[in-house]
Amino acid sequence: MSLLLDTHVWLWWTYGSKERLPENVRSRIAQRDERVMVSMASLWEIAIKSRLGKIAFPRPPATYALKQMKRQRFELLGIRIAHVDAIASMPLHHRDPFDRLLIAQAQVEGLTLLTADAAFELYKIAKIIV
């Protein structure tokens, strides 16, 4: 099974806040045979947060994030038409557009979404709430 990391989960993994993730989740992310993905939507989100001064990066945020992902052996998940179409029929339990796109991507691609956002519980997708 493949994993899709929510933006905050990727940030915790990348910036030394791994203790915020349970040991079983950390070991699963670290497994070499586990396919771990980060969405283009997350790169978009961190670019916006960087511009707002909520997070700092040593280089342009998306470029830096992509370099970190390659080092981590994580894959970038692009945004496809099928993901956008899935959002159109999605219940409005969660209104954050980045999170809605992550939910749609997990659903369409059959990924397990790792998040700390309890609102994701309302969606019928494979998920691990940390």
> From edge to edge, which strands make up the β-sheet containing 36-39?
75-77, 36-39, 3-5, 112-115, 127-129
Q: How far apart are CA 66 and CA 61, in angstroms?
A: 9
Give the model's pLDDT for residue 13. Answer: 94
Say which CATH number the domain at 34 has: 3.40.50.1010
Give the model's pLDDT for residue 118. Answer: 84
Number of domains in the chain: 1
Give the model's pLDDT for residue 58. Answer: 82
Amino acid, res. 16 = G
Q: Please give the residue range of the domain that contains residue 47.
A: 3-129
The model's pTM is 0.91
66-115 pLDDT per residue, tens: 999 999 999 999 999 999 999 998 887 777 889 999 999 999 999 999 99
31-69 pLDDT per residue, tens: 989 999 999 999 999 999 999 999 888 889 989 999 999
In DSSP notation, 8-50 reads: HHHHHHHTT-GGGS-HHHHHHHH-TTS-EEEEHHHHHHHHHHH
Give the model's pLDDT for residue 70. Answer: 95
Name every residue whose Cβ is closer than 8 Å to that of residue 91 and which is 6 or more positions away in sequence.
122, 123
